[in-house]
Amino acid sequence: MLATTEIVELLDRSEQIGQMILSSDVMDEYIEAKKRLVNDAEAQILIKRFNDKKEQYEEVQRFGRYHPDYSNIMKEIRQTKRDMDMNDCVAAFKVAERNIQTLLDEISHCIAHSVSDQVKVPKAGALLTDSSCGCGSGGGCGCQAS
Protein backbone atom coordinates (compact mmCIF):
# COMPACT_ATOMS: atom_id res chain seq x y z
CA MET A 1 0.00 0.00 0.00
CA LEU A 2 1.42 3.32 -1.02
CA ALA A 3 1.26 6.18 1.46
CA THR A 4 -0.53 8.94 -0.39
CA THR A 5 -1.12 12.38 1.05
CA GLU A 6 -4.80 11.48 1.50
CA ILE A 7 -3.93 8.43 3.63
CA VAL A 8 -1.43 10.41 5.68
CA GLU A 9 -4.05 13.12 6.22
CA LEU A 10 -6.63 10.50 7.30
CA LEU A 11 -4.15 9.01 9.75
CA ASP A 12 -3.37 12.47 11.15
CA ARG A 13 -7.06 13.26 11.59
CA SER A 14 -7.78 9.91 13.21
CA GLU A 15 -4.90 10.57 15.63
CA GLN A 16 -6.41 13.96 16.41
CA ILE A 17 -9.80 12.37 17.09
CA GLY A 18 -8.16 9.81 19.36
CA GLN A 19 -6.36 12.55 21.30
CA MET A 20 -9.61 14.52 21.61
CA ILE A 21 -11.35 11.47 23.05
CA LEU A 22 -8.50 10.81 25.49
CA SER A 23 -8.57 14.42 26.71
CA SER A 24 -12.37 14.67 26.95
CA ASP A 25 -14.31 15.19 30.18
CA VAL A 26 -16.12 11.91 29.55
CA MET A 27 -12.82 10.02 29.45
CA ASP A 28 -11.59 11.83 32.57
CA GLU A 29 -14.76 10.78 34.41
CA TYR A 30 -14.30 7.19 33.22
CA ILE A 31 -10.67 7.06 34.41
CA GLU A 32 -11.58 8.54 37.80
CA ALA A 33 -14.50 6.13 38.25
CA LYS A 34 -12.26 3.21 37.36
CA LYS A 35 -9.60 4.33 39.86
CA ARG A 36 -12.21 4.63 42.61
CA LEU A 37 -13.58 1.19 41.73
CA VAL A 38 -10.16 -0.46 41.78
CA ASN A 39 -9.26 1.19 45.10
CA ASP A 40 -12.57 0.47 46.86
CA ALA A 41 -12.13 -2.64 49.02
CA GLU A 42 -15.86 -3.28 49.44
CA ALA A 43 -16.48 -3.05 45.69
CA GLN A 44 -13.63 -5.47 45.00
CA ILE A 45 -15.05 -7.97 47.49
CA LEU A 46 -18.48 -7.72 45.85
CA ILE A 47 -16.98 -8.14 42.37
CA LYS A 48 -14.98 -11.18 43.47
CA ARG A 49 -18.04 -12.69 45.13
CA PHE A 50 -20.05 -12.14 41.94
CA ASN A 51 -17.33 -13.68 39.75
CA ASP A 52 -17.16 -16.73 42.03
CA LYS A 53 -20.93 -17.09 41.93
CA LYS A 54 -20.86 -16.65 38.15
CA GLU A 55 -18.63 -19.71 37.84
CA GLN A 56 -21.18 -21.74 39.79
CA TYR A 57 -23.93 -20.28 37.59
CA GLU A 58 -22.11 -21.33 34.41
CA GLU A 59 -21.74 -24.87 35.75
CA VAL A 60 -25.45 -25.03 36.55
CA GLN A 61 -26.33 -23.64 33.10
CA ARG A 62 -24.74 -26.68 31.46
CA PHE A 63 -27.54 -28.83 32.90
CA GLY A 64 -30.27 -26.22 33.17
CA ARG A 65 -33.27 -26.90 35.39
CA TYR A 66 -32.16 -30.48 35.84
CA HIS A 67 -29.20 -29.48 38.00
CA PRO A 68 -29.98 -30.09 41.70
CA ASP A 69 -28.80 -26.60 42.76
CA TYR A 70 -30.48 -24.74 39.89
CA SER A 71 -32.99 -22.76 41.95
CA ASN A 72 -30.53 -21.86 44.69
CA ILE A 73 -27.79 -20.74 42.33
CA MET A 74 -30.23 -18.71 40.23
CA LYS A 75 -31.45 -16.85 43.35
CA GLU A 76 -27.92 -16.39 44.66
CA ILE A 77 -26.53 -15.04 41.39
CA ARG A 78 -29.35 -12.48 41.13
CA GLN A 79 -28.83 -11.38 44.75
CA THR A 80 -25.05 -11.21 44.35
CA LYS A 81 -25.37 -9.15 41.17
CA ARG A 82 -27.88 -6.83 42.83
CA ASP A 83 -25.52 -6.35 45.79
CA MET A 84 -22.64 -5.58 43.45
CA ASP A 85 -24.70 -3.20 41.28
CA MET A 86 -25.99 -1.29 44.31
CA ASN A 87 -22.45 -0.40 45.42
CA ASP A 88 -21.82 3.31 44.77
CA CYS A 89 -18.42 2.79 43.12
CA VAL A 90 -19.71 0.03 40.83
CA ALA A 91 -22.77 2.10 39.87
CA ALA A 92 -20.64 5.19 39.16
CA PHE A 93 -18.23 3.13 37.05
CA LYS A 94 -21.10 1.64 35.03
CA VAL A 95 -22.51 5.12 34.34
CA ALA A 96 -19.07 6.39 33.27
CA GLU A 97 -18.57 3.29 31.11
CA ARG A 98 -21.94 3.82 29.43
CA ASN A 99 -21.11 7.49 28.82
CA ILE A 100 -17.79 6.70 27.12
CA GLN A 101 -19.49 4.00 25.04
CA THR A 102 -22.14 6.51 23.96
CA LEU A 103 -19.44 9.00 22.96
CA LEU A 104 -17.61 6.35 20.92
CA ASP A 105 -20.88 5.23 19.29
CA GLU A 106 -21.71 8.81 18.31
CA ILE A 107 -18.25 9.35 16.84
CA SER A 108 -18.48 6.08 14.87
CA HIS A 109 -21.90 7.10 13.60
CA CYS A 110 -20.65 10.51 12.47
CA ILE A 111 -17.63 9.06 10.70
CA ALA A 112 -19.62 6.29 8.99
CA HIS A 113 -22.38 8.61 7.81
CA SER A 114 -19.88 11.16 6.55
CA VAL A 115 -18.88 8.46 4.06
CA SER A 116 -22.43 7.37 3.19
CA ASP A 117 -25.84 7.11 4.81
CA GLN A 118 -25.88 3.48 3.67
CA VAL A 119 -23.01 2.49 6.00
CA LYS A 120 -24.34 0.38 8.86
CA VAL A 121 -22.94 1.22 12.29
CA PRO A 122 -23.37 -1.20 15.19
CA LYS A 123 -24.63 0.39 18.37
CA ALA A 124 -23.84 -1.06 21.77
CA GLY A 125 -26.88 0.36 23.54
CA ALA A 126 -29.29 0.42 20.63
CA LEU A 127 -31.92 -1.72 22.32
CA LEU A 128 -32.10 0.81 25.14
CA THR A 129 -32.10 3.94 23.00
CA ASP A 130 -34.20 3.28 19.91
CA SER A 131 -36.12 0.66 17.99
CA SER A 132 -33.23 -0.58 15.88
CA CYS A 133 -30.83 -3.24 17.04
CA GLY A 134 -27.94 -1.91 14.99
CA CYS A 135 -27.05 -5.39 13.81
CA GLY A 136 -26.42 -4.30 10.26
CA SER A 137 -28.48 -7.11 8.76
CA GLY A 138 -30.76 -4.68 6.98
CA GLY A 139 -33.76 -5.77 8.99
CA GLY A 140 -33.25 -9.48 8.32
CA CYS A 141 -33.50 -10.25 12.02
CA GLY A 142 -36.80 -8.45 12.33
CA CYS A 143 -35.35 -5.19 13.55
CA GLN A 144 -35.65 -1.88 11.83
CA ALA A 145 -32.34 -1.01 10.20
CA SER A 146 -31.16 2.46 11.13
Predicted confidence (pLDDT) at residue 72 exceeds the cutoff of 80: yes
Burial profile 11-20: b = 16 or more Cβ within 10 angstroms, e = fewer: eeeeeeeeee
Look at residue 64 in the predicted model and tell me its pLDDT.
Answer: 85
Lowest mean pLDDT among 27-36, 41-50, 64-73: 64-73
Look at residue 146 in the predicted model and tell me its pLDDT.
Answer: 42
Higher pLDDT, residue 92 or 146: 92
Lowest mean pLDDT among 1-10, 86-95, 130-139: 130-139
pTM of the model: 0.74
Look at residue 131 in the predicted model and tell me its pLDDT.
Answer: 46
Predicted confidence (pLDDT) at residue 141 exceeds the cutoff of 80: no
Whole-angstrom distance, CA of residue 73 vs CA of residue 59: 10
Q: Which residues contact 43 (CB under 8 A, 6 or more apart)?
A: 37, 84, 87, 89, 90
Rg (CA), the chain: 21
Predicted confidence (pLDDT) at residue 70 exceeds the cutoff of 70: yes
Higher pLDDT, residue 86 or 136: 86
